[in-house]
Every structure is written in structure tokens, then in C-alpha cells.
Chains A and B, each alone.
Chain A
């Protein structure tokens, strides 16, 4: 764990510019100009809700939004996702599987360096993945690397990932932000960084200041001298800070307030379509949801358009009970719509001619979740389903009974179809909240994930998707947009599909324009 003297140690490095940058305060400019062309220099102050004394700067155990912001900016991975959720190379020039996808070979980018000027070597990559997969202290990404047998340095710039079973999706796992590359003498309290920024100072739950890492390999960005991540306990204080120009950009604003903030001529709204979903989860192994007709009926009572309108204030896309909307092999099934007579008929066939009563466990785990429960309760009433909403706090929700509720909710960020199945729809899945455990389905997914070319596994994926679409335990009514707000003088923020705020937290592309 951390030492008592971290703050003092880091505080010694505090320079005057950070203080000046953060205190640039008070008066608003009222300018309606755009940020213009990229300008070098300046500090971006980004506000984020959440954060507490347990906040971390460790590359491999991010939990909340601020942790993720730090991880993405301080550490670079071998691969990452583009703004439209395609895999792109980062520290690895290439990452290729062998014929049966049992060995993947990464080639490290020529001249890639850490923030202290040392070369990034294969040994560092090996160390990073051993650290993630440490059996005594598994890190956040460990669940996606259970088949990773060994990581071996095989050349001056090459690393082999040897697997215990074929896996064609390893590039997806390696593109997750939780797999940052750290040096083999990594000290998480005083980190040497591989990302576009390096750490200047960190006060958990309050603020983090990062400065440009001049050794970072990507040369088309890096405009900011410094970026500060500032934690807020609630979104009101966050919005007030933006309106009084104490911060330059804020991550994730309440969707109901988008219009109000957008009406301010000093502000821009960043509206990103994402694959983030807030499903209802029905346990397929427990009554009443063990009867597939009940699950089908529940899916038919949802008025998806109304959900988007009321829960997301219109900032979302309609879902079709199918996750992974940005996958290359996303299916084209007929859009499911509200059909109360059919739902009633299905319920009657399942033995509930007079409707039934269910308890729905909800918690404020993500904005919109509790609202979705309330709207669902209203819609379901039309089909004679009496939904009793049980609202608990987030800690209770994720407590002992998490993944055990008969009927509850959850949220997921953008993932491709197959990795999502591995996370939530198989016997081995760490988050199998619907308790979906179908041997046929598992076989298809296991076969499909051994294939690294997405076109070759299209038919297998469709088979699995059809099964979930017909019989699955999720009600996926929509995908929420990620909406952020920023001052007009901030440039370089573009819509990003990952579901992470402020362009996927890629602050190396951001600049402070002339005002």
C-alpha cells in the first residue's frame, strides 16, 4: 500500500505554474469564438464527479472515472481503440496471432521511451502482464487473461503471448486501458510513465496534475503543458465550476441539463454515441424468469423510444436486446417493439393470466439507472406486471448479493460482442448476472473466439446472437450517449465511442485556444 509521505514527496515537485494555472479564475470571457488552430502550451482543468481517498495512480487498478482518466493519460498500452471503436496500434507496431491463435506476437514501436528517457523493452512488457496476472494480487484486467500462459521476450523488440487455448480476441483484451505498459522497476507511488503525460502531483479525491511527457512516441499531439483532473462530489458543484470558469471541461453531465448548459454561449456540448448500455437483468435459472415466455413477455412490454426520451432525455440509441452494437458482426435482427397484447398472451401461456408481481432491485450505479426502473415499472403495468422497485445504495448493490438478484439492473461500457459474452454470458464469466449457462451457446462462443479474423467467425457469432436475441435474460432497451461540456476555447475534443468521457480521456489531443 501507499506510504504516509507520498504527498510531501510529490509536493516537493510542485512548481509555480501549476498554482497559476489552477487559480486562473473567476471572471468569464463571454467570447463565442472557437478554439481555432492547435496552440502549444497552457493547462487544461478537467472536472469529474467521483473520487475519494482510495483514488489511485496505479496503471492497473483503476476504478472510478478519475482513475481511468489518469490511467489513460499516464500509461500507454500496446493497442487501443479509435474514436469509432476500431483497434489501433499504440506501443506495439503490430500484434499478430499465429495460424491457430495460440501465440500472439507483439512488435514494440521503434524508439518508444518511458518518461525518464529509457527505452521501452520487451522485458517491461513481460513485467507489465505478469503484474496484471499476479495470482496473489490480480489486477483489474486479470479476468480477461485467464488463458494467458506465458509472456516471453523473444527479440530486441518482440514479445510472444503464449496461450493455453486458442484465443482470437487477445487483441481486444490488450486494447483495454487497464493493460498499460510500466517499467520493470515500476513504483506505483512514484510512477515512471509510458503515456502522453507524466505525473506531477496527486491528492486523492481532490486533484491530480499531470505534465507533458516529452519522450512520448506520438508527435502529432501533446499541445498542453499540463492537465489537471479535479474531483467533485456531485454534479451540481461540477456544473457550477464550469459556469464560473473555474474548470475548462467537465466529464459526463446529467442528460436532463444538456440543453440548459448548451444554451450558454460560452459552452460547447460534446455528444458521443457509444455502446454503453443499462440493461435489466433477469436470472434465467430462477422463477419466474426460468420460463423463457416470461422473459420474452418482459422484453415486449418495454417502449424503447419512450425509455430513450424519458431516461436519457433523447441522448441515446434504441437497443434490440443485443449488446456490442459497434461490433463488426453486429446482426440485423428485426427491431423489437412494445407489444402489450402479445406480452399478455405469453404471460398467460406461462401461467400468469392475471399478470404477476416482481421485485426490481435498483441503485444509483450510473446516471439513468434508477429512472429507467421507474419508467419500466409504469410500462410493465400495462401488461399486468406489478413491479415493486427496491432501491438500495450503490455499495449494497455491489455487495454480497451482486450478481445474485433475480431481477435487477447493471451498466456496461462499449465492448465487442464476443468479449462481452466472455464477461457476462458464460459459466466461467465473472459477471454472469443473468446466470446464462447454455452448453450449446458456450460451445459456439468458444469456437468463435478461437478465430482471429472477424469475417471468418461471422456465422458463429450470428448463431450465438440469435440465441440471446430469442431467449436471453437481458432487456437491452438502449445505448446511452456520453455527453460532456467544455468552454469554447478548448480545442481537439471529438466524439468518441468508447464510453469514456472527454474524447475517451485522450487529453494529448486537446489544446487551449486563444480566447
Chain B
């Protein structure tokens, strides 16, 4: 039953990804201008455009290009980037890792911190500390990520203090994790964007759980308070929060674009912006597919957590 649910979801996901690829390919065809013109810019003389189109293989009809790309996908070939002339997989391999590290760092920090603060807030419900936490998380949740990023840069890198690097710079070929200090500000920005939602959701569900009958019963029976909270209340509150965490993680996959742009972070987001500007269709498709895949996987994981933390569903599975 459990395996069947997951299997069905996976098959559905494959169709979703296929639809995404068709839509993205169609959308890039609608963009005005073509790769050769975009690359050559003002210097696009007819002779040079013809020469470049020949090199890039853009003389083939669109449907032929789409199917040869799709065919390549099944054998693990993401195609060739028109801008760089090299395979897409080579262009993106390092960037995938860079983006993954940024997202993973943000997730690893914000999920426990968010849950912890949410529980803390719920336990001190109505008190001054709860009010402060609620206020701060509301303000942060209301701010777009680029505002938070710019504020952090101004405070820690340029205007007020100059203690942290403002952008990510590495010599050619060096992975981003060689310089952890450059990861601090982008990670912190993402953490500040994602955490407030988790705090608020955790606080709300936790309050609900603390008010419920079985917690009252446990307390009446004389179970120690820490045990009441961590053994009985928190696991109950996690189910709904997992959904919020999933949405936040999925947002990270897309929202990282703006943050990468701001910090010159050499990840997927930056590659996507470049690829759209230069009509590098195969790169746009590869990245869209990756982001879509992250959405699918993360949502699937959230459902699994939901099942595992709910005894009723768990035993049914």
C-alpha cells in the first residue's frame, strides 16, 4: 500500500515533468530573437549570424530539436548548450552542487531553528517573549528576499561593518565550499526568509496540540512536562508542519534565483537568468526540469513524513 502510493506518485511525476518540458520549450520559442542574435548583440551582421547558426545547429526545425533533446534525456544526455558549445551537464554540474549546498545549509539551519522557536513560542503563549517572536517573524515574513539580502549586505559587508564578503568570488574551477565565509550571507538570507513561516506554523499547531485532551490527560496522570512535550505533543504537531517545510524547501529551489543574483553566487539561478537572456534553450530546459523535480520530490517526502507521524496512517500502511 505504502509502496503503491509512492509508485503511483512517481509515475504521475514523470508526466508532470514531461508537460513542464513541453511548456518550457514552447515558451522559449515565443521569446523574441534567437540564440545567435542574442550572443552577437550589436555585432550581428547577416554573415556572422549565418555562421553561428550553422555552428549551433539552429537550422533544424523546432520539433526536431525538441525530440532529439527528449531522446537524449533518456540516456542521461541533457544536450548541448548553444552559448558555451559544451554539454549542458558539464556546464551545470558544478552549479547544481553550489545551489544544493546553499539550499541544504539553509534547510539544515532553518528547519530545527524554526521548529524549536515555534515550540518555545507556543509554550510561552501570550508572554512577552512569544509576542516578540511573533512580531519579528511577521515582519520577516512580510519582506521579500532581496530586501533582506540587501539589508544584510549593507550591515555586514559594505556600509556599517566590513566583516563579511558581499559577493561570492572564486578562481575558475574552484567549488564554492572552499570559502565558507562567502556562504554566510546568502545562507542567512534564505534562513531569514524561510524560518518565520515554520515558526508560525509550528506555534499554531503546537498550541492546538497542547490544548487537546490527550495532553491534558498526560499531565493529569503526572507525566513529567518535558516528556509530555517531546514525546506526546511535538510529534503530533510535526505532520502539518512537514507540509509547510516542504513548501518552503520547494520555494528554495526557485527562490534561490534572486538570492544567487544578489550575491553573484555561481549556482543554478544565475545560470537560468543567463540562459534565458541568451536564448540557451537546452540549459533553460535542464534547469526547469531540475527545479520541477525538486518540487515533486520534496512534496513526496512531506507526504511520507505525514504518514509516518500519524499513527493511524502509519499502521494502515
Binding site for B on A (CB under 8 A): 1-4, 6-7, 10-11, 14, 18-19, 22-23, 25-28, 45, 52-54, 63-64, 136-138, 140, 142-143, 201-209, 228, 230, 232-234, 236-237, 240-241, 243-247, 365, 392-396, 398-400, 402, 410, 430-431
| Contact stretch, chosen from B41-49, B118-126, B220-228, B286-294 | B41-49
A241 CA / B90 CA spacing, docked (Å): 28
- B278 contact set on A, CB distance < 8 A: 52-54
On whether the beta carbons of B173 and A236 are closer than 8 Å, the reply is no
A85 CA / B255 CA spacing, docked (Å): 47
B268 interface hit (Cβ, 8 Å) = no
On whether the beta carbons of A233 and B273 are closer than 8 Å, the reply is yes
Question: Assuming the A-B contacts A143-B45, A208-B172, A236-B262, are A396 and B32 also in contact, with contact meaning beta carbons closer than 8 angstroms in the complex?
Answer: yes
On whether the beta carbons of B280 and A53 are closer than 8 Å, the reply is yes
On whether the beta carbons of B171 and A201 are closer than 8 Å, the reply is yes
User: A interface, by DSSP: helix, strand, loop or mixed?
Assistant: loop
Instruction: Tell me the minimal C-beta distance from B241 to chain A in angstroms.
Output: 35
B158 interface hit (Cβ, 8 Å) = yes
Contact residues, B144-180 vs A (CB, 8 A): 150, 153, 157-159, 162-167, 169-174, 178-179
Q: Sorted from nearest, which 7 A-B pairs have the closest CB atoms?
A: A203-B172, A1-B85, A240-B166, A53-B83, A243-B158, A53-B84, A54-B83
A157 CA / B308 CA spacing, docked (Å): 82
Contact residues, B260-316 vs A (CB, 8 A): 261-264, 266, 270-271, 273-275, 277-280, 283
Question: Assuming the A-B contacts A2-B86, A4-B90, A64-B41, are A246 and B169 also in contact, with contact meaning beta carbons closer than 8 angstroms in the complex?
Answer: yes
A452 CA / B175 CA spacing, docked (Å): 54
A231 CA / B297 CA spacing, docked (Å): 34
On whether the beta carbons of B41 and A53 are closer than 8 Å, the reply is no
A422 CA / B168 CA spacing, docked (Å): 44
On whether the beta carbons of B84 and A54 are closer than 8 Å, the reply is yes
A244 CA / B156 CA spacing, docked (Å): 9
Against A, the Cβ 8 Å flags (1 = close, 0 = not) of B33-53 are 110011111111101100100
Question: Assuming the A-B contacts A2-B86, A395-B32, are A22 and B261 also in contact, with contact meaning beta carbons closer than 8 angstroms in the complex?
Answer: no
Instruction: Tell me the minimal C-beta distance from A64 to chain B in angstroms.
Output: 7
Instruction: Name which residue of chain B comes closest to A200, CB basis.
Output: B172
Question: Assuming the A-B contacts A52-B278, A63-B39, are A398 and B157 also in contact, with contact meaning beta carbons closer than 8 angstroms in the complex?
Answer: no
B87 interface hit (Cβ, 8 Å) = yes
Instruction: Tell me the minimal C-beta distance from A423 to chain B in angstroms.
Output: 11
A275 CA / B280 CA spacing, docked (Å): 34
B181 interface hit (Cβ, 8 Å) = yes
Instruction: Name which residue of chain A comes closest to B265, CB basis.
Output: A237
Taking A14-B173, A27-B162, A395-B37 as known contacts, 18 extra A-B pairs with beta carbons closer than 8 A to each other, sorted by chain A number, are A3-B86, A6-B86, A28-B162, A52-B274, A52-B278, A53-B278, A54-B83, A204-B84, A205-B274, A228-B171, A233-B273, A237-B263, A237-B264, A241-B166, A243-B166, A392-B32, A395-B38, A395-B279
A245 CA / B158 CA spacing, docked (Å): 9
Instruction: Tell me the minimal C-beta distance from A352 to chain B in angstroms.
Output: 32
Q: Which of B34, B43, B262, B263 has most A Cβ within 10 Å?
A: B43
A63 CA / B172 CA spacing, docked (Å): 21
Instruction: Name which residue of chain B comes closest to A52, CB basis.
Output: B274
Instruction: Tell me the minimal C-beta distance from B209 to chain A in angstroms.
Output: 44
A240 CA / B273 CA spacing, docked (Å): 20
- A207 contact set on B, CB distance < 8 A: 169-172
On whether the beta carbons of B45 and A430 are closer than 8 Å, the reply is yes
Instruction: Name which residue of chain A comes closest to B84, CB basis.
Output: A53
State the interface size on chain B (CB cutoff 8 A). 61
A399 CA / B37 CA spacing, docked (Å): 6
Instruction: Tell me the minimal C-beta distance from B31 to chain A in angstroms.
Output: 8
Instruction: Tell me the minimal C-beta distance from A37 to chain B in angstroms.
Output: 28
- B174 contact set on A, CB distance < 8 A: 19
B187 interface hit (Cβ, 8 Å) = no
A237 CA / B40 CA spacing, docked (Å): 25
A54 CA / B283 CA spacing, docked (Å): 13
Instruction: Tell me the minimal C-beta distance from A248 to chain B in angstroms.
Output: 12
B91 interface hit (Cβ, 8 Å) = yes
On whether the beta carbons of A237 and B179 are closer than 8 Å, the reply is no
- B167 contact set on A, CB distance < 8 A: 232, 237, 240-241, 244, 246
On whether the beta carbons of A396 and B171 are closer than 8 Å, the reply is no
- B153 contact set on A, CB distance < 8 A: 240
Instruction: Name which residue of chain A comes closest to B86, CB basis.
Output: A4
Instruction: Tell me the minimal C-beta distance from A61 to chain B in angstroms.
Output: 8
Instruction: Tell me the minimal C-beta distance from A231 to chain B in angstroms.
Output: 8
On whether the beta carbons of A52 and B277 are closer than 8 Å, the reply is yes
On whether the beta carbons of B51 and A245 are closer than 8 Å, the reply is no
Instruction: Name which residue of chain A comes closest to B261, CB basis.
Output: A233
Instruction: Tell me the minimal C-beta distance from B53 to chain A in angstroms.
Output: 12
B243 interface hit (Cβ, 8 Å) = no
- B248 contact set on A, CB distance < 8 A: none
B137 interface hit (Cβ, 8 Å) = no
On whether the beta carbons of B33 and A234 are closer than 8 Å, the reply is no
Q: Which of B55, B81, B157 contacts A244 (CB 8 A)?
A: B157
Q: Which of B91, B172, B262 contacts A209 (CB 8 A)?
A: B172
- B47 contact set on A, CB distance < 8 A: 138, 142
Instruction: Name which residue of chain B comes closest to A412, CB basis.
Output: B42
Instruction: Name which residue of chain A comes closest to B51, CB basis.
Output: A137
A204 CA / B82 CA spacing, docked (Å): 13
Instruction: Tell me the minimal C-beta distance from A408 to chain B in angstroms.
Output: 13
Instruction: Name which residue of chain A comes closest to B274, CB basis.
Output: A52
On whether the beta carbons of A26 and B181 are closer than 8 Å, the reply is yes
A63 CA / B48 CA spacing, docked (Å): 12
- A365 contact set on B, CB distance < 8 A: 42
Instruction: Name which residue of chain A comes closest to B156, CB basis.
Output: A244
Q: Which of B166, B171, B262 contacts A246 (CB 8 A)?
A: B166
- B275 contact set on A, CB distance < 8 A: 53
On whether the beta carbons of B86 and A399 are closer than 8 Å, the reply is no
Q: Which of A22, A52, A205 contacts B169 (CB 8 A)?
A: A22
Instruction: Tell me the minimal C-beta distance from B243 to chain A in angstroms.
Output: 34
Question: Assuming the A-B contacts A53-B280, A241-B264, are A247 and B86 also in contact, with contact meaning beta carbons closer than 8 angstroms in the complex?
Answer: no
- A400 contact set on B, CB distance < 8 A: 33, 37
